[in-house]
Structure 1
Amino acid sequence: MISFIIPAYNEERLLGRTLEAIQKAAKDVDVNYEMIVVDDNSSDNTGKIANDLGATVVKVNHRQISATRNAGARVANGSLLVFIDADTVISTEILRSTMTAVNHKAIGGSAAFRFDGYVPLYGRVIQWLLYRIYRLGKVVGGSYLFCTWEAFEKVGGFDETVYGGEEMILSRSLKKLGGFILLKQTVLTSGRRLRIYSFRENMKIIACLGTSGGRIEDRDTGWFWYDGKRES
């Protein structure tokens, strides 16, 4: 069984398409699966949407992405864990590639992303640069990250001492075990931060991630992930 684990905070606008894409991909690939939405103290209809679409809803109040992801993993029944952001859409092809990789003894892997909708030109440049860095194995995206339950247990799950960059820390630990791959396919993720925040704010975000190596030590430093701004 595959356990799709989706951390969510006030994601009523985008969660439906994320879950429907998972359902379609799983049906096309013909795999047994479950969807686990970890609702981290949402004040909107996130939990109801998840429940209506057949997901198991886990209610938490962490406001810490690493702890929220781990909460989903703790109730998972699958031998393969797939962590997907609530604003991300997967395809049949990427799930099929994931299954092929695991069947060939990969213990984990990740995928690059592309932004949906309109984003400013500098956003496209950022996307292009991140993809190149990703292909060199220097950055692992949190939008889509998978690993076997056994490997997840061995490395101790996501690091709950950080408020961001937990996917990079986990991927480095998985790489040490061997068999961590980078998929060729990309997932579609929301470019809303590039639309919501100004150029100046986005440059501050990039500078913060660059100087910290992607490791965010507290919620205030990772304000851009925790301020809850959403598109209307």
Structure 2
Amino acid sequence: MSSDQFTLSVIIPAWNEGDYLPDTLASLEHAIQSLPNEVACEVIVVDNASSDNTRSIALSRGACVIFEPERRIARVRNAGAEAAKGDGLVFLDADTRIRATHLTAVVAGLRAGLAGGGVPIDFDHLEGALQRAGLRAWNALSRRAHWAAGCFVFARADLHRAVGGFSEAVYAGEEIAYSRALKRLAQHQGRAFRILDIQPVVSSSRKITWFRPWQHAIVLLTFLFFPWAGRFKRLTWFWYHRPHDG
């Protein structure tokens, strides 16, 4: 990539995210202000047929808003990438807050030749040793296996296109397949797909609040024994159902 001008596209999939999107965009705006002058940044919010004020919030904060009706997170991420003009892409969840160091590290990594990667994650509210142990286990696995958490994934735009984007054959787990595909391509090109050694981004713990421990256990066991479960929307309810929606 050129050592001069560089454009970063931050893509935020959003379905009824009016409660969380303002804080995410505020943290993103602060991070963008810390980027070098030669780095431009565009923010794309992909409205996944929201019925709340998600769209108006995004527009009021200066984001580009596009509409994607299909309720499949891989399709929503890909729709944002298709509209993006950046040399680098960041896929950021609408309930995830970042710091300036995250964007500066991504830009530095991509300009230095990284294919892409992810970052450690944290949650805004955890209760008990079991939840904290689970988070530590994920961050260790993520770093060891080079699997990016879906709340913050980044990639060179040309390599995103080269691997075909996120697999739309699945309803969940697309970030793992994406990480693997980018890692394979990166190795072929003498590059790396890396989990950055940086402070974690902070996501909401809403799923921990919404669902009981036995429900989390069911999801874990389902995907442990049936890795293909992500291909079926009924088996990926954990990612698409919100208890207050009925």
* Corresponding residue of 2:25: 19
* Corresponding residue of 1:122: 130
Unpaired runs of 5+ residues, structure 2, are 1-6, 187-191
Q: Percent identity?
A: 33
Deviates more, 1:135-144 or 1:15-24: 135-144
User: Is 2:102 aligned against 1:69?
Assistant: no
* Corresponding residue of 1:94: 102
* Corresponding residue of 1:106: 114
* Corresponding residue of 2:46: 38
- Counterpart CA distance in 2 for 1:121 and 1:213 is 27
* Corresponding residue of 1:200: 214
**What is the letter of the counterpart of residue 34 of structure 2?**
D
Deviates more, 1:138-147 or 1:56-65: 138-147
Shift of 1:158: 0.8
* Corresponding residue of 2:165: 157
**What is the letter of the counterpart of residue 23 of structure 1?**
E
Spell out, residue by residue over 1:109-131, the C-alpha distance to the aligned partner (whole angstroms, 9 max, x if none). 11121111244442212101111
8 Å CA contact 1:119, 1:194 repeated in 2: no
- Counterpart CA distance in 2 for 1:130 and 1:213 is 17
8 Å CA contact 1:25, 1:92 repeated in 2: yes
* Corresponding residue of 1:222: 236
* Corresponding residue of 2:156: 148
Aligned residues: 231
Give the ranges of 4+ consecutive aligned residues of structure 1 lying more than 4 Å apart after TM superposition: none
**What is the letter of the counterpart of residue 63 of structure 1?**
R
- Counterpart CA distance in 2 for 1:70 and 1:37 is 12
* Corresponding residue of 1:180: 193
SS at match of 1:114: strand
8 Å CA contact 1:137, 1:182 repeated in 2: no
SS at match of 2:235: coil
- Whichever of the two has the greater Rg, that structure is 2
Shift of 1:196: 1.3
SS at match of 1:93: helix
TM score, norm. by length of structure 1: 0.94
Spell out, residue by residue over 1:141-172, the C-alpha distance to the aligned partner (whole angstroms, 9 max, x if none). 11110111110111111111100111111111
- Counterpart CA distance in 2 for 1:120 and 1:39 is 35
SS at match of 2:231: coil
Deviates more, 1:113-122 or 1:200-209: 113-122
**What is the letter of the counterpart of residue 40 of structure 2?**
N
Unpaired runs of 5+ residues, structure 1, are none
* Corresponding residue of 2:61: 53
Shift of 1:43: 0.9
Shift of 1:214: 7.9
**What is the letter of the counterpart of residue 25 of structure 1?**
A
8 Å CA contact 2:146, 2:193 repeated in 1: no
Shift of 1:174: 0.6
8 Å CA contact 2:25, 2:61 repeated in 1: yes
